[in-house]
Amino acid sequence: MRPLYIEWETLSRGWRDGDVVSEFILTPGFGLGMADKASAEQDLIIVGGGPAGLTAALYAARAQASPLVLIGEVAGGQAATTQEIENYPGFPDGIGGPALAQQMQSHAERFGAQIQFDSAESVDLGTYPFRVRTRTGEYTARTIVISTGSSPRKLGVPGEARFRGHGVSYCATCDGYFFKDKRVLVVGGGNSAIDESLFLTRLASQITIVHRRDTLRADPVLQERAFKEPKIQFVWSSVVEEILGDQEANAVRVRNVVTGETSTIETDGVFVYIGHVPNTKLFEGQLELDERGYIVTDRRQRTSVPGVYAAGDVQDPIYRQIVTAAGTGSAAAIEAIRFIDQHKYEENTE
C-alpha cells in the first residue's frame, strides 16, 4: 500500500498553517484514536499518550491486557512538538517527532491497545477498582499507569508560541544540533539553564545567557565552568519581553529590571529554562508528590498507592528524554500486569 502523506496541522494544534510533516505516514492499522467506545470496566488505564504512555500501552497490549490509553488531544506528548529527533535509538538519520509518535501509537494499536483521544478530568484513587472520569465517559480500572508528563514553564511573552519549533526550544539536548555554529540565547539561571548552556558550547558559536537576577542560582561547580567558558556571555538583571522574527526567530527584546532600559539581541535560537511543571494536578492529595509536584516512585515505578504506577516526565525531573520515558513506561506496564495477575489469582482462590 502506498503511504499517504498528510498535513500535521489537520491532526494537531499549535503548528502553523502550511507546515507539512512529510514523515507522517498513515500506515495500515493506524487508527487516529477513533476506536469503538471502550468498556466501562478496564483492567488497565494509561493516562497520557507520550512516549512513556505509548510504550506502556505496547507492553501491556502484548501481554493481552488490552489497555485503554487516554491520549489527550494529540499522541506523542512533548516529543510530537520536536521537529526532528536524532538521539532516539534505531533512527540513524533522525525522525520527526510527530512521525515517531505515530509509529509508537500504531505499534501499540497493532497488539490491541485501545487508543482514545480523550482526557481524564478526574481520578479517584480512594476506591477500588479505581475510577476515572473523562470528557466522554466514566471507567473503572484494576490498575492505572500515569504518564501525564510535564510542561516547560513558559515565558508567556509575544512570539514564544509562534516560534516554538522555529527557533524557540525547551530542550538543548533534543534540538541543539540544529544550531551548530550559530548564536543562541538561553533564558534562566538555574542548574538546567547553565548545564544546557554548557552542553550548547559543543555546538553553538556563542551562547548568551539572560537572567533576571545579578547572580546565578545554579550549583557552584556549574557556575565556575560557565564563567570560564569563552563562548558564554551574560546579560544580567534582565528579562525577555518579546521574541522577534519572520519565519524563524532571529532576535529577542530584553528589559533591564533595574534601569528599565530595553534592547534587542540578535540570535538564531532561544532556549527557555525557567523550570518545568509536572502535570499532576489530578493526583494532588491522592499520591505522594515531592516538593516540586513530581510523583514519587520507587525503582519499580510504584507510587504510594498500590496498583498505581507512574512513568516518564511526570516522575522524572532530571533527564526528561524520550528514551528514558520509554524505559520507565515499559517497567510500569510490566509491574501493572503483575499486579493484575496477582489480584485475579487471589479473587479466583477465595
Tell me the pLDDT tens digit for each residue of 203-243. 999 999 999 999 999 989 999 999 999 999 999 999 999 99
CB within 8 Å of 207: residues ≥ 6 apart: 183, 184, 185, 186, 197, 200, 201, 229, 231, 232, 233
Q: Strand 138-146 and strand 276-278: pairing?
A: unpaired
**246 is a catalytic site residue:** no
The catalytic residue among 175, 195, 313, 316 is 175
**175 is a catalytic site residue:** yes
Can you give the pLDDT at residue 10?
32
Can you give the pLDDT at residue 4?
33
Can you give the pLDDT at residue 83?
63
C-alpha cell at 137: 465517559
Residues paired with 123 in a beta bridge: 132
Pick 154-272's CATH classification: 3.40.50.150, 3.30.499.10, 3.40.640.10, 3.50.50.60. 3.50.50.60
The full set of domain ranges for the chain reads 4-151+276-349, 154-272
Task: Look up the CATH architecture of domain 4-151+276-349.
Answer: 3-Layer(bba) Sandwich (3.50)
- Crossing angle, helix 51-62 and helix 322-349, to 10 degrees? 40
What secondary structure letter does DSSP report for 81? G
On whether the CB atoms of residues 98 and 23 are closer than 8 A, the answer is yes
Can you give the pLDDT at residue 349?
83
Which among 301, 313, 311, 326 has a CA at the least distance from the CA of 107? 326
**171 is a catalytic site residue:** yes
Strands (E), 160-282: 168-169, 183-187, 206-210, 232-235, 238-245, 249-256, 262-266, 269-272, 276-278
The catalytic residue among 174, 268, 313, 316 is 174
Residue in the block written with cell 489469582: 345
**Which ranges of 117-255 would DSSP assign to H, the alpha helix?**
172-175, 191-200, 220-228
Per-residue burial over 197-215, b = 16 or more CB atoms within 10 Å of its CB, e = otherwise: bbebbebbebbbbbbbeee
C-alpha cell at 136: 466522554
Can you give the pLDDT at residue 179?
96
Distance CA 326, CA 51 (A): 5
Can you give the pLDDT at residue 192?
83
Same fold, 4-151+276-349 and 154-272: yes
Can you give the pLDDT at residue 35?
52
Can you give the pLDDT at residue 252?
98
3-class DSSP assignment, residue 179: helix
Residues (pLDDT < 70) of the chain are 1-36, 81-83
